[in-house]
């Protein structure tokens, strides 16, 4: 076990999986993969007030969605388990016994009130409180034991060796780092109720799980010298540490809610792809060669190394993420696009559904604002209706992909961009497009629509995008019209606006009956 890399991601289930945590998870995962090592997921649930099962589930789901498969941990188990700290209490008790035997800890009977009073006195005197003053450090052991036996509440503190030189280590990212031992007070390892403190539990777990590299956010840097003292007290080897710089928003401030979405599932719900997220997050503080931006999981997993992690704070640039996501959408498999687009395609489908049924032209008043696409959560019936549709005609759904593959930066855009595919036989007409393309051109636009309708109504004509487009385009000359003036009215009649996905590819996917009905409804609506 000693030669193989073992790393862990150790979230506390006190909230969702945030972007920073996901980045830490990715670095650990990629490092394990690159080194042929083991990636462990450990849940640090010792804060009973803030840890919840719901958060555990959310974190596991976010990890799975990102595709960060762990080799040991919840659900998969492993030899070093259990992987929830609350189930490891006996290991902390054992470690405390070992420290007692080694004379490295002492019981402290100072009450919280005593300590608060000392802190306040220091503050009142204008001095900085320097931590615990060691009142119980030199209690006579027999006396201490007597007080323990008498049931007096006590914590266990680490007896920091006062003759220890600077606590030095070589951080894999920051390089040689050291902290003076003088600033380390005798920290509590085990609380009055017997529970371990964060630093103690982490060291016990990392040691018992054979962790070789601790890769985590640099908000933990100040904990590292304390943890090193605990390793030394236990007589255990110290792992390699790698601390990751902060992630900043575009304004240079620490990434937070102020900057918008921060949790992984928010990004999922906004239409980002797991592959794009992993690629983007892997580049927050690491680079392959300083240039390459798009790289597959396989590349990240084979090429990841600690020496290419930068000390510089990483900037979370959402414009770049959007762009990158668009690149991934362009390359993805159509069936996968359908699978991942379910929430938005279902919504587009549901938005079209009532119009099909009622066949009411939805914008009778041209001055009224265009109806908004429903953003309410879908009902179970709506989702079921969509799933039935999808099951009945999967090829239709896959054929939607090329319509938007180069136009979407996020899967969620499919809802708006493709809604018209579900509207027939009536179309939600965009007011601006109607004015500009149909009303302004008046009779000429009507003429163009009527001519195209005739082509589309001709049953002898093959129903394919290429043939229909060629025949419609051929109308330009006899009608003495620019192509734009000829085809834009048709686009508005079929899709509702001027900026829709490719027109004839869309027409091919709709039925002739639907297409003609859309044209008729639009003509009746606008020119009657």
Tell me how far apart the alpha carbons of residues 231 and 210 are, in angstroms, rounded to a whole number: 13
CB 329 within 8 A of CB 273: yes
Minimum separation from the CB atom of position 271 to ligand GLU (A):
28
Tell me how far apart the alpha carbons of residues 471 and 452 are, in angstroms, rounded to a whole number: 9
Q: Is 64 a catalytic residue?
A: no
Q: Which residue is it, tokens 């002492």?
A: 106
Residues with Cβ < 8 Å from 301, sequence gap 6 or more? 29, 30, 33, 34
Minimum separation from the CB atom of position 230 to ligand GLU (A):
12
Q: Alpha-carbon dihedral of residues 107, 110, 116, 118, nearest 10 degrees? A: -100
Contact residues toward ligand GLU (CB under 6 A) are 10-12, 44, 202, 216, 220
Taking the least distance from each CB to ligand GLU, the nearer of 11 and 196 is 11
- The active-site residue out of 253, 254, 257, 432 is 257
Taking the least distance from each CB to ligand GLU, the nearer of 44 and 469 is 44
Minimum separation from the CB atom of position 203 to ligand GLU (A):
9
Taking the least distance from each CB to ligand GLU, the nearer of 105 and 211 is 211
Residues with Cβ < 8 Å from 477, sequence gap 6 or more? none
Q: How many CB atoms lie within 10 A of CB 276?
A: 23
Instruction: Work out the end-to-end distance of the chain between its first and last CA atoms, rounded to an integer number of angstroms.
Output: 81
CB 78 within 8 A of CB 72: yes
Minimum separation from the CB atom of position 5 to ligand GLU (A):
16
Taking the least distance from each CB to ligand GLU, the nearer of 219 and 470 is 219
SS (H, E, C) 400-465: HHHHHCCCCCCCCHHHHHCHHHHCCCCCCCCHHHHHHHHHCCCHHHHHHHHHHHHHHHCCCCCCCH
Minimum separation from the CB atom of position 381 to ligand GLU (A):
41
Taking the least distance from each CB to ligand GLU, the nearer of 224 and 500 is 224
Q: Write out the catalytic residue numbers.
A: 257
């Amino acid at each position: 076990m000693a030669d193989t890399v073992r790393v862990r991601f150790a979230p506390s289930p006190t909230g969702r999986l945030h972007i920073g945590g996901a980045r830490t998870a990715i670095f650990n995962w990629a490092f394990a993969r690159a080194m042929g090592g083991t990636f462990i997921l450990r849940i640090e649930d010792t804060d009973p007030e803030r840890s919840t099962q719901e958060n555990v589930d959310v974190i596991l789901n976010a990890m799975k969605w990102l595709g960060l498969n762990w080799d040991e941990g919840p659900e998969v188990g492993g030899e070093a388990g259990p992987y929830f700290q609350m189930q490891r209490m006996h290991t902390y008790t054992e470690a405390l016994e070992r420290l007692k035997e080694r004379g490295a800890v002492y019981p402290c009977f100072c009450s919280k009130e005593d300590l608060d009073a000392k802190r306040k006195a220091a503050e009142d005197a204008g001095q900085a409180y320097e931590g615990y003053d060691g009142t119980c450090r030199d209690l006579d052991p027999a006396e201490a034991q007597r007080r323990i036996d008498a049931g007096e509440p006590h914590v266990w503190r680490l007896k920091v060796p006062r003759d220890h030189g600077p606590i030095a280590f070589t951080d894999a990212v920051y390089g040689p780092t050291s902290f003076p031992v003088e600033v380390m007070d005798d920290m509590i390892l085990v609380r009055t109720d017997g529970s371990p403190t964060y630093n103690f539990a982490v060291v016990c777990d990392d040691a018992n799980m054979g962790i070789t590299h601790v890769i985590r956010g640099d908000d933990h840097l100040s904990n590292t010298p304390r943890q090193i003292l605990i390793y030394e007290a236990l007589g255990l080897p110290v792992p390699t540490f790698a601390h990751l710089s902060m992630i900043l928003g575009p304004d240079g401030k620490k990434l937070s809610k102020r900057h918008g979405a921060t949790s992984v599932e928010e990004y999922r719900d906004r239409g980002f792809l797991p592959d794009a997220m992993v690629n983007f997050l892997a580049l927050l503080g690491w680079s392959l060669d300083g240039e390459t931006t798009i790289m597959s999981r396989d590349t990240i997993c084979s090429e990841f190394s600690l020496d290419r992690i930068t000390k510089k704070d990483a900037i979370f640039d959402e414009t770049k993420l959007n762009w990158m996501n668009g690149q991934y959408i362009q390359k993805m498999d159509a069936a996968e696009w359908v699978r991942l687009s379910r929430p938005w395609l279902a919504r587009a489908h549901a938005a079209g559904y009532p119009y099909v049924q009622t066949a009411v032209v939805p914008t009778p008043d041209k001055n009224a604002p265009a109806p908004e696409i429903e953003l309410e959560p879908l009902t179970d019936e709506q989702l079921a209706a969509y799933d039935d549709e999808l099951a009945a005609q999967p090829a239709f759904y896959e054929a939607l992909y090329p319509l938007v593959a180069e136009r979407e930066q996020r899967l969620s855009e499919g809802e708006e961009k493709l809604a018209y595919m579900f509207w027939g036989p009536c179309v939600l007409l965009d007011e601006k497009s109607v004015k500009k393309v149909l009303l302004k051109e008046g009779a000429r636009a009507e003429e163009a629509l009527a001519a195209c309708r005739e082509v589309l109504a001709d049953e002898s004509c093959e129903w394919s995008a290429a043939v229909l487009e060629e025949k419609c385009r051929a109308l330009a000359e006899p009608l003495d019209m620019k192509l734009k003036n000829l085809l834009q009215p048709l686009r508005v009649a079929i899709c509702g606006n001027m900026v829709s996905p490719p027109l004839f590819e869309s027409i091919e996917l709709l039925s002739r009956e639907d297409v003609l009905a859309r044209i008729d409804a639009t003509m009746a609506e606008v020119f009657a």
